Structure 1
Amino acid sequence: MKIPAIKKLVETQTIDSLREAEEQLINEEPTAFEIEGADEGEKLTHVFGAIWILNHMGDHNTDFKTALREFTQKVRVSIS
C-alpha cells in the first residue's frame, strides 16, 4: 500500500469512477484510468483506500489528512 497512490486517486477520481475501477480490477479488465501499483492486488488496495477515504470525508466532513489517518489506523489494526 502506497499512500501517494491513494492520495492521487482521492484527488483525481470520483467515488463512482473508483467503484467502476474496482469492478474492472476484480473482473481482470483494464481500468479507465491509471492506478499505481505493483500488481492488481495492490491496485485494488489503493482503490479501496481511496473509496473509504472519500466516503469518510463526506460522512464526517473531515479533510484528507484526518481521513487518511483513520484509514491507516484501521489497516494497522486489521493486520496486527
Structure 2
Amino acid sequence: MKVPAIKKLVETQTIESLMEAEAQLINEQMTAFEIEGADEGEKLTHVFGAIWILNHMNDQETDFKTALREFTQKVRTSIS
C-alpha cells in the first residue's frame, strides 16, 4: 500500500469512478484511468483505500489527513 497512490486517487477521482474501477479490477479488465501499483492486488488496495477515505470525508465532514490517519490506523489494526 502506497499512500501517495491513494492520495492521487482521492484528489482526481469520484467515488463512482473508483467503484467502477474496483469492479473492473475484480473482473480483470482494464480501468478507465491509471492506478498505481505493482499488481492488481495493490491497485485494488489503493482503490479500496481511496473509496473508504472519500466516504469517510463525506460522512464525518473531515479533511483528507484525518481520514487518511484513521484509514491507516484501521489497516494497522487489521494486520496485528
* Alignment TM class, shorter chain as reference: over 0.9
1:12 matched residue in structure 2: 12
CA RMSD of aligned residues (A): 0.1
Structure 1 length as normaliser, TM-score? 1.00
**Letter of the structure 1 residue corresponding to residue 65 of structure 2:** K
1:76 matched residue in structure 2: 76
Gaps of 5+ in 2: none
Runs of 4+ off more than 4 Å: none
> Matches of 1:48 and 1:13 in 2, distance apart?
13
Aligned residues: 80
Gaps of 5+ in 1: none
Report how far residue 59 of structure 1 moved. Answer: 0.1
2:54 matched residue in structure 1: 54
Between the aligned residues of both structures, percent identity stands at 88
Structure 2 length as normaliser, TM-score? 1.00
**Are 1:30 and 2:44 matched, yes or no?**
no
